[in-house]
Amino acid sequence: MKKELTPKVTLRVRFFLFCMAEFILVVLLAELAGWLFQRYLGITVDIPIYVWAILFSVIFGGAITNYITHSFIDPITQLGDAMKEVAGGNFQVSVACSSKLKEVTDIYDNFNLMVKELGATETLQTDFISNVSHEFKTPINAIEGYASLLQDHQQTQQEQDEYIEKILFNTRRLSSLTGNILLLSKINTQSIKPQRTSFRLDEQVRQAILALEQKWTEKNIDLDVELDKIQYSGYENLLIHVWTNLIDNAIKFDPPDGMICLRMRQSDDSVVFTIEDNGPGIALEDRERIFHKFYQSDSSRKMDGNGLGLSLVKQIVELSGGTVSVDNLPDAGCRFTVQLPL
């Protein structure tokens, strides 16, 4: 296997060859100058070779100095100024390099990528704080209220159990909300996409179904599942959130003793996943907005939720190059359709 030279070694070799070429060129030009004077002017110039060498070295030295300044010194100075800006908290800096050396342009590209990621991290923090301050008020107030009631010690055991259950419900809601906000903000702001892996897409859907087993068994919901065996290359750690959110959403709106149908089919160039429930359906004016962050329709506000699940679904599916849509069924319920390219 051929071993690739590191940029440091490449620059050293290039500089060594450049110096050798300069030395040989100076000697040849000195000899050529004496020959031209003799041939065309009939003058024998008896100037020592080292004088010619000094003369041409000065000329070439000036040219080389200009080249090094343009290719190395100026870019390093510009990069140093940009680093000072970043150190001062300015993550909007972007530097362009006029050098033709790959090693220098690579440094600039990596610097710009680093600044972009730092800016994304700052945006993530700002977005998270903004969303947290807005969405956390209700569950925190509920937890505080029920905890204050428990301090009175005047409730019956049944009332205490009810208050504790309410506190646990709101803490789980806070935990889910925090995770969803962080994941959604990360997907929106990251410039480096996660690594694609090869995995069984149908098995991942089955894992999501099993993870929600308690919820659909409590409502005595039957699942009609037909999944093609599909080997898929994509964002495995993100796509699990798509199936989990869609199935959880169907369970939430499907009536007790209802039925949920899940289908996954593979064509030549895509995978199509559909999930149908027998719930109340989605109003026409809500069909587009349900994918917006923190949007909840009137019917969904009556149930557990924070308006982030479907927004996560849309962001992850689009990051994977696919589409997600929703339609009402003729009798009752709705169908979500996810299409992913192969």
* Confidence (pLDDT) at 265: 94
Are the C-beta atoms of 334 and 277 separated by less than 8 Å? Answer: yes
User: In this model, does residue 264 exceed pLDDT 90?
Assistant: yes
- Separation CA 258–CA 253 (nearest Å): 10
* Confidence (pLDDT) at 222: 92
* Confidence (pLDDT) at 181: 66
- In the chain, where the domains are located: 7-118, 136-189, 197-341
* Confidence (pLDDT) at 298: 45
CA 145 to chain centre: 39
Sequence-separated (6 or more) residues with CB below 8 Å from residue 147:
167
* Confidence (pLDDT) at 302: 42
Pick the residue with more confidence: 50 or 215? 215
- Separation CA 172–CA 198 (nearest Å): 32
* Confidence (pLDDT) at 299: 44
The DSSP secondary structure of 253-315, one letter per residue, reads HSPTT-EEEEEEEE-SSEEEEEEE--S----GGGTTGGGSTT---TTGGGSS--S-HHHHHHH
- How many beta carbons lie within 10 A of that of residue 312, not counting itself? 22
Pick the residue with more confidence: 294 or 135? 135
Domain 197-341 has CATH 1.10.287.130: no
Closest CA to 241 of 320, 145, 131: 320
Beta strands 231-234; 197-200: pairing state: antiparallel
Residue 334, CA distances (Å) to 194, 247, 253, 282, 323 in order = 32, 12, 10, 7, 17
**Alpha helices by DSSP H, 190-232:** 201-211, 213-218
Are the C-beta atoms of 198 and 231 separated by less than 8 Å? Answer: yes
The tens digit of pLDDT for each residue in 34-45 reads 677 667 776 666
Q: Report the percent of the chain where pLDDT is more than 70.
A: 64
User: In this model, does residue 5 exceed pLDDT 60?
Assistant: no
- Separation CA 94–CA 184 (nearest Å): 26
**Alpha helices by DSSP H, 41-156:** 49-68, 74-87, 102-135, 137-150
- Separation CA 133–CA 126 (nearest Å): 11
What's the pLDDT band for 224 if we cut at 50, 70, 90? very high
- Looking at residues 305-326, what average pLDDT do you find? 80
- Separation CA 313–CA 335 (nearest Å): 14
* Confidence (pLDDT) at 121: 66
- Separation CA 64–CA 62 (nearest Å): 5
Pick the residue with more confidence: 222 or 298? 222
The tens digit of pLDDT for each residue in 70-89 reads 666 777 777 778 888 777 77
| The Cα angle at residue 323 between residues 336 and 278, in degrees rounded to 5 | 0
The tens digit of pLDDT for each residue in 265-289 reads 998 889 999 999 988 888 777 766 7
Residue 132, CA distances (Å) to 179, 211, 258, 295 in order = 11, 27, 35, 15
| Mean pLDDT, the chain, integer | 76
**Least confident residue range of 5-9, 101-105, 187-191:** 5-9
The tens digit of pLDDT for each residue in 114-159 reads 887 777 666 656 665 665 565 666 677 778 888 888 887 777 888 8
* Confidence (pLDDT) at 55: 66
- Looking at residues 315-319, what average pLDDT do you find? 87
The tens digit of pLDDT for each residue in 164-221 reads 888 887 787 777 667 766 766 666 666 556 778 899 999 999 988 988 888 889 899 9
* Confidence (pLDDT) at 206: 92
- Separation CA 313–CA 316 (nearest Å): 5
* Confidence (pLDDT) at 263: 94
Are the C-beta atoms of 194 and 325 separated by less than 8 Å? Answer: no
